Structure 1
């Protein structure tokens, strides 16, 4: 497994809370202003990623549910109090109504107040109807945490991943993979991947959120599975309209 060398000044995060980008590199600070860091409290504390799609809505994975969730926007180093950061508690976590483990793994987080859009905090566009990825496209995923099974970092890292034919994931995951609602990502011949804790982060293709990091093999090897956002656009729009009256000013 590829090991990236890190400066000693980087702070380590506890293994149980770490996410992982394998075979990638550190992102330029605040170059992904749509990224959301989710600090989740359940029986244990853990983290996920997310994407800001409206000033008071973050899109993430349904399995990132917890007793309480705090969203941190505008972060690069999640162990520092950067002046760019906006820390906003989640008002309502809205899972897809037909969510089951590894099925319909998508959730909207309604924030207690609207984010202030800045150079370090901005929205990412969702796909329009018919805008989908195709095998061979190269997209990007970012997340915080370990760079391999033993190396952690507190700074945002990113990796480029190639969209695969559905058959690659059908071969790996069989009945757990649904070509209608999921995207197969990551060349199995390359040691580049997302991993635990990157869940909920966006798959970004042509400056558009096309997928949500969902699941994969326990060893982090590609290909891995992303929730296909375009398949859930009606639910996303309907849900945000439904909670319209509850939105903060």
Structure 2
């Protein structure tokens, strides 16, 4: 894992991304949320993810590590709660064109070793429809267990924040060669202190109850906007992979 350049701070080795300027989510209002633990070397890291089928979680490709475990149904990640389900990852499947040098195609499927039990606290989030589109000014939401700001600790409970869709040119001007409008979404008003940050990588962007993005990167200091991988652009790969991938193959 690597720090990309001076504008990015997004690798699990750096701590991954967090929620800034948000608030604690009501318990189990986001039953699709997944907390992902894994190792890079001897260091334990964390990411967010989204349950998209009973046996698959969608997250960011830069969240790949060893000894990967998914926790579903959690509110307070540091307590053994009634609805929590801890499931080991059988196979991590990053997009074949993922490029760690610039986070292009930063998306990954995790095949779970067993299917999740569906409860009021654990439910998959539907993939977006083919006609789904985002417009600048539209308000969406992101969530995760990442840090609450520079120098702050990780929260115990799930946090959420509202983010506004920005014009692609906003991220193109800030991130130059690293931003691709065909496969990424620019999120977060630069004039507001709201963003994802360390620990939120891989978490979902939800717009009008549709799963639109996977949190990928932001500026080193956590100021918005942030960059999300556009789920819609990868629907064929996601569906094909879930249909054909067998555990261990």
SS of 1:240's equivalent in the other structure is helix
Structure 2 stretches lacking a partner, 5+ long: 1-13
Q: Distance in 2 between matches of 1:241 and 1:18?
A: 29
Secondary structure of 2:146's partner?
strand
Secondary structure at 1:194's aligned position in 2?
coil
Whole-Å Cα distance in 1 between the matches of residues 244 and 29 of structure 2?
32
> How many angstroms apart in 1 are the aligned matches of 2:16 and 2:109?
22
Distance (Å, rounded) in 1 between the aligned partners of 2:200 and 2:146: 8
Q: Does 1:211 align with 2:210?
A: no
Pairing 1:19-30 to 2, within 5 Å after superposition: 19-30=17-28
- Residue 50 of structure 2 corresponds to residue 51 of structure 1: yes
Partner of 2:106: 105
The equivalent of 2:120 in structure 1 is 119
Q: For residues 49-86 of structure 1, what are the alpha-carbon distances to aligned partners after superposition, in whole Å with 9 as ceiling and x for unaligned? A: 00000000000000000012100000011110001100
The 2-side partners of 1:77 and 1:198 are apart by 15
Quote the offset at 1:151 in angstroms: 2.6
The answer (yes or no) to whether the contact 2:111–2:247 under 8 Å persists in 1 is no
The structure 1 residue matched to 2:202, chosen from 200, 203, 207, is 200
Equivalents in 2 of 1:18, 1:188: separation in Å?
Answer: 20
**Counterpart for residue 34 of structure 2:** 36
In structure 2, the CA distance between the partners of 1:235 and 1:38, relative to structure 1 (3 Å rule), is: same
Aligned Cα RMSD in Å? 1.5
1:72 corresponds to 2:71: yes
Report the more deviating stretch, 150-159 or 212-221: 150-159
The Cα shift of 1:18 comes to 7.2
- Note if contact 1:145-1:154 (Cα within 8 Å) is conserved in structure 2: no
CA contact (8 A) 2:17 2:217 kept: no
Equivalent residues, number: 232
Give the deviation of 1:197 after TM superposition: 1.4
SS at match of 1:48: strand
Measure the CA separation in 2 of the matches of 1:191 and 1:32.
23
Query: Could you list the per-position Cα deviations for residues 147-192 of structure 1 after superposition, in whole angstroms to 9, with x for gaps in the alignment?
Result: 1113321110000000000000001001100000000000001000
Cα distance in 2 for partners of 1:223, 1:197 equals: 17
Q: Which runs of 4+ in 1 moved over 6 A?
A: none
Q: How far apart, in 1, do the equivalents of 2:87 and 2:22 lie?
A: 29
1:17 and 1:45 in contact (8 A); partners too: no
Q: CA deviation at 1:19?
A: 4.7
Counterpart Cα distance in 1 of 2:15 and 2:80: 18
